[in-house]
A and B are shown apart, each in its own frame.
Chain A
Amino acid sequence: MTETQQAPARDDPGRAVPAIELTGVEKAYYAHGETVAAVRGVDLEIGQGEFFSLLGPSGCGKTTTMRMIAGFEEPTAGAVHLHGQDVTGVSPNRRDVNMVFQSYALFPHMSVFENVAFGLRRRGVPKADITRRVGEMLDIVDLAGRERRRPAELSGGQQQRVALARALVNRPRALLLDEPLGALDLKLRQAMQVELKRIQREVGITFVYVTHDQSEALTMSDRIAVMNDGLIEQLGTPREIYEHPASRFVAGFIGTSNLLDGEVAEMGQGTAVISYGPDGRIEVPVRDGVKVAAGQRLELTIRPEKIDIGLDKPADGLCAVRGTVTEVVYLGTSTSYNITTHTGADVVVFLQNATSADDIATRGDSVWLSWEPRHSYAIGAPQ
């Protein structure tokens, strides 16, 4: 019995109940006589107080997943639990989560105060408490003194904060944010990212954040689920996801990534060694999930900033690949090099412009690329 617990999170008193739990959640739509799967089986546990992001391109199912947590969509299969309680089939007005909409969806005919007080009034909170709580919340989002304004009289960033306050004032179990910064310009967006993180720390509420902007997800999240085509491709901390992308999709979607492949010469203890070209050698760690044997081809990813460029053959412990510089682009804090390896793969390298004033190499130079084996990551057989 102890070994086959169905829901350890809920039965084990030692572990906190997750704020949100999705089990085998699927969603299919019927359009023009055919079934379209938007979400194809998602399992998730989001901890209390966590800043959790659902990241993916448009159409990957991230918004549908969020709307199933809010109750605006009902899963075709699977169940949604909020704090251990099954809420599948419960309508949104009876779920203890609140949402911040992409369009803010403020009530245009109400003042800022009335917008924020809306949820409290629905729950019959006493008048004095409403005034106090709305005031406190407007302080937190830095909108004190704008109570009487209408949403149309506020700037985009201010409207965004009203939407946030309107949801947070209800002290929901979790706050769901659907691309809330999408409509803001870059400067304001970056400021709001920091602001959101501060507010989340201050109120201690679980945030579920839907975005297609990988830098936004990396900046703010405790954990990220990268979604593609209705499935979670990878789930982990921003560092894990960035440093060790589990699939070609994740590697390509998050940041810039180089893909290299070659034939495995020998298999070591959790590593594969690839001889690359006449004198190149790559050693790459292999996870349990990736099946590969000597003689097979293996594809690996390596981030551009992990690679070093030199004119001499690097030290023995490092991976080493030869190539020719095809392009050098000066980017201010760093310089980007495009290099074609001797087997024809294109590699991008970012080098910080910290010490050297001059470029290490120029177009047409033959160079050595080198990196530490632990910085690369095996994906599997190339496609």
Chain B
Amino acid sequence: MTTLTTTKTPVRGRPARPKRRISGLHAYTLALIAWLILPIAIMILFGFNDTRSKQNFEWQGFTLKWYAHLFDKGDLTTAVINSLTIALLSTLITTILGTFAGLALGRYRFRGKGSTNLVLFMAISCPEIVMGASLLSMFVTFNLPRGYLTILVAHVMFSIAFVAVTVRARVVGLDPAVEEAAQDLGAGPWTRFRLVTLPMIMPGVVAGALLAFVLSIDDFIITNFTSGSTITFPLWIYGSTRTGTPPQVNVMGTLIFAVGIVIAVVSARRNMRAPR
């Protein structure tokens, strides 16, 4: 018995607070955050740079004039509008098609399911350079003039798999009895989809749509192959690097980034509020 009492007694009350010092883990975490945020911070910062030269690398004082003269570069504005409309349209088409594909793959057994899954996986894993080159040769073979439409087709093509996969993951996690319950309570197929299935897979659909939008708006490689003479935001920036990137590019980038942050925060808050 004595041996038991002499063993180390547990400390009562609060555990001792560890000493305040930057540990290795802290340093690592800070370094990682810096690594992720620094390029974006510099982009935002140089949007306020009062540069006079064509190059925008040297800090020359704070100004808001690039925000005031945001649309001064006409072809840049066109490129941004192209990028935004292509992203919105391709997201819309992709989300609709991808959601139904994900539903079918997650819920039903059908002939060709295995090959559909394989094709989706290939679309995700295929290097963009390969996909871009093959799309170009296909459009040339079919004698399709390259431009806005071919960019849109290409964007739908490479982002559809991402939506399908996200929705499928959500569908697989659903209890099929919930849809049966809706049917049992008198709901026909369309009502069932509208009132029960769609609201339940909505988080997957929204995630897929955001992914599709992001993939489309900053795509360079595939767009470069399929664009013809149409210019999008990434293509314009690439072209401008040879002569000097104007601060408007930083401003546009900042604004797109800000919208992305707002969407992310809103969706995170919604997820927190709605109990699953």
Contact = CB atoms under 8 A, between A and B. Distances in A.
Given A150-B275, A152-B275, A153-B275, A70 B184 contact: yes
Interface in B194-232: 195-196, 199-200, 202
A64 interface: no
A70 B187 CA distance: 14
A102 B191 CA distance: 23
A103 B184 contact: no
A301 B200 CA distance: 53
B178 interface: yes
Interface in A127-176: 150, 152-153, 166-167, 170
Nearest to B199: A109
Interface stretch (A7-15, A21-29, A75-83, A91-99): A91-99
A99 B184 contact: yes
Contacts of B271: none
B276 A98 contact: no
Q: Chain A CB within 10 Å — which of B185, B199, B275, B276 has the most?
A: B185
Nearest to A122: B186
A72 interface: yes
A106 interface: yes
Nearest to A95: B184
A167 B275 CA distance: 24
**Which secondary structure dominates chain B's binding surface?**
helix
B180 interface: yes
Contacts of B276: 108, 152
Nearest to A178: B177
A93 B187 contact: yes
Contacts of A94: 186
Interface in B230-266: none
A6 to B, nearest CB: 31
Contacts of A106: 178, 181
A101 B184 CA distance: 10
Contacts of B24: none
A107 B187 contact: no
A119 interface: yes
A170 B186 CA distance: 10
A109 B195 CA distance: 10
A331 B182 CA distance: 47
A105 B187 contact: no
A92 B188 contact: no
A240 to B, nearest CB: 32
A371 B164 CA distance: 69
A179 to B, nearest CB: 12
A151 to B, nearest CB: 9
B110 to A, nearest CB: 15
B272 to A, nearest CB: 14
B175 A119 contact: no
B1 to A, nearest CB: 36
Interface string B12-45: 0000000000000000000000000000000000
B183 interface: yes
Given A93-B187, A122-B187, 6 more contacts: A105-B181, A106-B181, A107-B178, A108-B276, A123-B186, A170-B186
Q: Which 8 A-B pairs have the closest CB atoms?
A: A122-B186, A119-B185, A105-B177, A105-B181, A152-B275, A101-B177, A109-B199, A105-B178
Interface of A: 70, 72, 91-94, 98-99, 101-103, 105-109, 118-119, 122-123, 150, 152-153, 166-167, 170
16 contacts: A93-B183, A93-B188, A94-B186, A98-B185, A99-B181, A99-B184, A101-B177, A101-B180, A105-B175, A106-B178, A107-B181, A108-B200, A109-B199, A122-B187, A123-B186, A153-B275
